[in-house]
Amino acid sequence: MKQILLIAGFLLTTGCQPAFPEQDAKSPFVIEKSGGRIVMAYKQFESFLNSDRSWENYCKMVLNPYPEMRYLHAQQLSWGAIDSLKFPEDLKGYKISDFHHFFTQYDEASLDRLYDSVIQKAHNVMQPSGHKPVDLCLFLPYGSCFVNPDSDRTTIYISLYIDPADVQKIMTHEYAHCLHHERCPEEPLTLRRELVSEGLAVYLTTVIDTAFQLKNAIPFMPEENVAWCMAHESAIRDSIRAELENSGMDIFKRYISDGGFASPPAGFVQKTAYFTGYRIIETCVRRGLSLEEICALDSKGVLEMSGYFEPDE
């Protein structure tokens, strides 16, 4: 049931839209915050499980009231995480007993504390450069976590499949992406861009919350895998250097994704781009650049300032 595809710092709308009618409906289970909202979409999914679990009811109860869930559903289809024909049948087989323990993981007070603590700690390090609201959407029955920087508001998506012990780190990582992408120039997808994006998110996580260091700051990357990266940094650098300008899904499979979607180079652990990206940002900071300066550079500028991929003398 659990499926975490990847941590995606910057998702673009794919144009894939779910096949259901959109309606104007009030979104229940929303906590209003001064800087955004906490959208507890999983509670509406719990209500759906107490219905006949038909596709029509799923649209009416889960998708139509929440633009966040409509967007998320479309993303799941585009990623291939769900099948448009099979998913409605899967819904009929869901049982509330299979999901019951997820619904007791949070209450409104704990979600309030999570949102406030991450935002406050992050703003102690770097103030937002704009005034867009930032929403936190917690959801089922899909897996994944990512941030969608829409034109009107930013939404951080976190699945309830993710261990609550990891959620503080995940939200900090995703909000770090928000702070970076407010400042960085737009550029096309390349491995180079993703290195800098994920590296900054990991580095900012360690600065925003000192409970995290490199060994435990990379989402879904075990400490032993970080230790492997440290022992094989030269090999990772050589492999990534050769693919810096590559784009497409292969870069995610080889260096960014985790789980069954990942297909790293032979002998490599998953998610090595996060480790390498952190090292690049760390090198820039050691060379005297501020985080504001780094965030304002494009990825080519960051790599040049770091000198990380320059041949060893």
The structure tokens 């992050």 sit at 122
- β pairing state of 134-139 and 36-40: parallel
How many residues does this entry show for the chain?
313
Per-residue pLDDT reduced to its tens digit, 223-258 = 999 999 999 999 999 999 999 999 999 999 999 999
How are beta strands 7-8 and 30-33 bridged, if at all? Answer: unpaired
Model pLDDT, residue 295: 97
Q: What is the pLDDT of residue 152?
A: 85
Task: Give the model's pLDDT for residue 98.
Answer: 93
191-208 and 272-286 helices, crossing angle to 10°: 70
Task: Please name the residues in contact with 266: beta carbons below 8 A apart, sequence gap of 6 or more.
Answer: none
Provide the pairing of β-strand 145-149 with 134-139: unpaired
pLDDT under 50 in the chain at which residues? Answer: 1-24, 313
How high is the pLDDT of residue 27? 73
Q: What is the pLDDT of residue 26?
A: 62
